[in-house]
A and B are shown apart, each in its own frame.
Chain A
């Protein structure tokens, strides 16, 4: 026996406006949301207070256009990593002054901060290179 199919109930509300609204919301969130993850470095200009606690001179790392320089010896990024690791092995609390030369973009300063952070050195201060 073939049963008669029950009559389909008509939807009370049409779906089309709902879809429109949902699409608009979707487009809004796609355009307005960002997926970039932000990170922060705590930087401080070297003050007299912290510096005077330790009599040892901080490591002076010059940040220049072409690369880095410690005690007049030019370093590439890899050499800098090795050097900072050696410094960390010697004294993990060693302070570092990043001496920023004229016209150096922030990108290079961030690379130096990154290298110091990767080596485990956290006492980094940024100051002007000309101040020497």
Chain B
């Protein structure tokens, strides 16, 4: 006896809707999120209601909760080293804005020291970066 052939199901028929969802998620994360370079120090800036938009492509100075300093993606050991590196960077691109990104729990005295250093190398104005409060 010949049995009627059972309809063959493609094995990956059910995966098509899943691929659609995964693609949508992928596009969402690509468009909505911003890729941030890894930070050399763990810094969690304070939250604030007000503030201007953060500058684009700045020279970034990081201060973590223990007062350690980093410039861009490298940790600097001392204020002298920070000043020297800043000087080099500002000579390369004097128009680049400078931002200071201190941890919420960092000592404000450290922030003032960094501002002094910035002024010493000729960066008159710096932006203090905060996180937008939810």
**Which A residues are within 8 Å of any B CB, using their own CB?**
8, 11, 14-16, 18-19, 22-23, 25-26, 29-30, 32-45, 63, 100, 102-111, 113-114, 117-118, 126-128
Contact = CB atoms under 8 A, between A and B. Distances in A.
A33 B104 CA distance: 22
Contact of A41 (B23, B25, B52): B52
Interface residues of B, number: 53
Contacts of A100: 108-109, 112
B103 A33 contact: no
B1 interface: no
Contacts of B109: 100, 102-104, 128
Contacts of B48: 39, 41, 110-111, 113-114, 117
B15 interface: yes
Contact of A16 (B12, B36, B51, B127): B12
A25 to B, nearest CB: 6
Given A107-B104, A110-B48, A8 B10 contact: yes
B130 A34 contact: no
A107 B131 CA distance: 11
A114 B45 CA distance: 14
B105 A110 contact: no
Contacts of B19: 15, 18-19, 22
Given A106-B104, A108-B108, A40 B51 contact: yes
Contacts of B35: 29, 32-34
Nearest to B8: A8
A25 B26 CA distance: 7
Given A22-B23, A45-B116, A34 B128 contact: no
Given A105-B104, A105-B105, A110-B104, A41 B33 contact: no
